Structure 1
């Protein structure tokens, strides 16, 4: 059900009153609308603009996760053997896709936000296209050999998607004292996850975790 606040509109007008059809229609998106919704995930919800309307669906977030999985598995397979993580990209994405929406929904509710859980899932899911573009552009142009170029993409694509998330929650939380804490926490976690998956799965020689400590000790000896 669409709902509007002072500056943003969150929802999908195609919802049916039937609960089963309602959840099925979360995956029914006009192919012509999907690029617009993806583009909207990088545009701040400025008051009065068309990007203040945030659509709720699960098709876009599902595609973002699939693209992320493909990119991360490719990057992980090209890492040198001693630097490969013991945790697969799929496991990491699964944990993030479950924990992040729940955490964002919980902290936003503490701030008295009226956003529903599905709205939060859709918002966080579409924000992953910022990660997709950051990793894919960095991979295609520099083959993950330039950390400087990665952080340029990180600031552009990751920064825009994080800014949109922060502003949406900022506009939906009525308690002034909670706005800064909630928005800062969510945006920071969003960006830290991008840095984590870049160095863990895409950077060819970066060693993370227990394996890294073992290799470091072996080289020291």
Structure 2
């Protein structure tokens, strides 16, 4: 019986080793095939500082490969890209509500109230999900702080960019009517 379980254990270990080797070889082949892009990034520099993009792109791919390898070997589970996009997409619901209301009711004080309440709640929902999925206090603070700042500032940008465009169009309309 012991011989059977020992043999079974060795077979399982052998299969795990083969599967890992196949994955590593597949990752290496993917990285090696990226070399096909070299001619598209081989640019003759006019300046003394190198102006080609091949080296920086390869460094980015290498960094991604190292990070993925580190996450796979550590057993870390992260939010998938689809989940991140879904989270960010639904986070824009607050922006839509605030902009729809304030573009129809033109009070800046109402905008700021809705910006803080609705936009803030939308941002808070995204931050709550990321806090539960981010390991480490410092990365959690950096990620959530950056997300909060970008999300809330984007809503401010949309609001004031709209007013700038509308004011520009009104000025152009007044100029056209004066010239006619």
Q: TM-score w.r.t. structure 2 length?
A: 0.48
Q: TM-score w.r.t. structure 1 length?
A: 0.40
